[in-house]
Amino acid sequence: MQKSIWDKYAQVLVDYSTNVQKGELVIIRAGSIEAKELVKSVYKRVLEKGANPVVRTSIGDLAEIFLKYASDEQLDYIDPMSKMEYEKADVFISLGAPQNTKSMARADLTKMAKRGKATKQLSELLLKRSANGEAKWVIADVPTNALAQEAKMSLDEYSEFLFKACYLDLDNPVEKLRELDKKQSGWAQYLNNVKTLHITGEKTDITFNVEGRKWISCSGLNNYPDGEVFTSPVENGINGEIYFDYPQNYRGNCANGVHLMIENGLVVKATAEQGEEFLNAMINMDEGSHGIGEIAIGTNDEIQEITGNILFDEKIGGAIHMALGASYPETGGKNISGLHWDLIKNMKNGGKIFADEKLIYENGKFII
């Protein structure tokens, strides 16, 4: 019997991305009821692997209602059941399925920042457990009308785009992911011996100290789709200016034309042609949100345009992204924040990357 697209999708997430083992506790999170078909396939596959699945399904508008009505005490509250899951679960499979990508667009920015600061302890815990090999996680999406509308596509067009970006149109998507990883690992190994990364382009001239930091090839283990090499730069070793020409989407809000000035690793000036108030509210979320948590190079050539979905947009082949806020402990990063906002920059319009002043990347392509 031929596998459905959902069974193929589930097999990648369970067998490859998180390598679920017998007896493990697996939390399956569904963003809405629209993820139902993939949830069922993942649930079945986890059972077939001999593990123990627990499903957590959300109702679309709860986050909006929470921010609207929650008191300061409720914004700071972390329920003990959620905390226990972060402490005890072996695997987290999170399936996004938004029914309204703009549900948080008018949310109170102060409350949003306060809630982000409160939940920082959970994301920090998961990242530490993951870096120590104690937990595995993956984030994926299913096609919905909301995502299709955001990408200015029909649902059929968006579904085709999503499945191709995940290589699910191929007979063996895992083989393709492993091929991608082999190529990216060569670049990562090269960059592991580099001390400084210098990026130039439109309104951009910035240097990152990456000495001693580990570069990682991303090929479907934490994000699906995937396609990037990344590291967390030395916290006080970033200086210069950088301009992000793509729309920057985060939590239902958007900032366009983002221009940052960075001194000794901290954002000292942030402007935007649109959404500047939101941009600065997120940067001021907590002490660590002024810092830089990641610098990465996107490599997925199946993704070539902004769709309004950060899971896909940050992987654009020919683009880079830089994250404000939390860094990744597995790279050696030490910045802690409730924020991790990936800002994406097109590099196909004359962008260059120099490694220890040697040109290694130009116009959206590695040349090493």
Give the pLDDT confidence of 205-214 residue by residue, as tens digits: 999 999 999 9
- Model pLDDT, residue 102: 84
Answer yes or no: is pLDDT of 1 > 60. no
Answer yes or no: is pLDDT of 38 > 90. yes
pLDDT digits (tens, 9 = 90+) for 110-151: 998 899 889 989 988 998 999 899 999 999 999 999 999 999
Calculate mean pLDDT across residues 226-231: 96
pLDDT confidence tier of residue 2, bands split at 50, 70 and 90: low
Calculate mean pLDDT across residues 261-283: 96
Residues 222, 183: Cα–Cα separation, whole Å: 18
Q: Residue 170 in contact with residue 176, Cβ under 8 Å?
A: yes
Q: DSSP letter for 70, please.
A: -
Residues 155, 162: Cα–Cα separation, whole Å: 10
Structure tokens at 248: 């920057």
Instruction: Give the chain's mean pLDDT.
Output: 94
Residues 288, 295: Cα–Cα separation, whole Å: 16
Structure tokens at 98: 């938004």
Q: DSSP letter for 256, please.
A: B
Parallel/antiparallel/unpaired status of strands 253-255 and 248-250: antiparallel
Structure tokens at 304: 């070539």
Q: Residue 1 in contact with residue 35, Cβ under 8 Å?
A: no
- Give the 3-state secondary structure of residue 59: coil
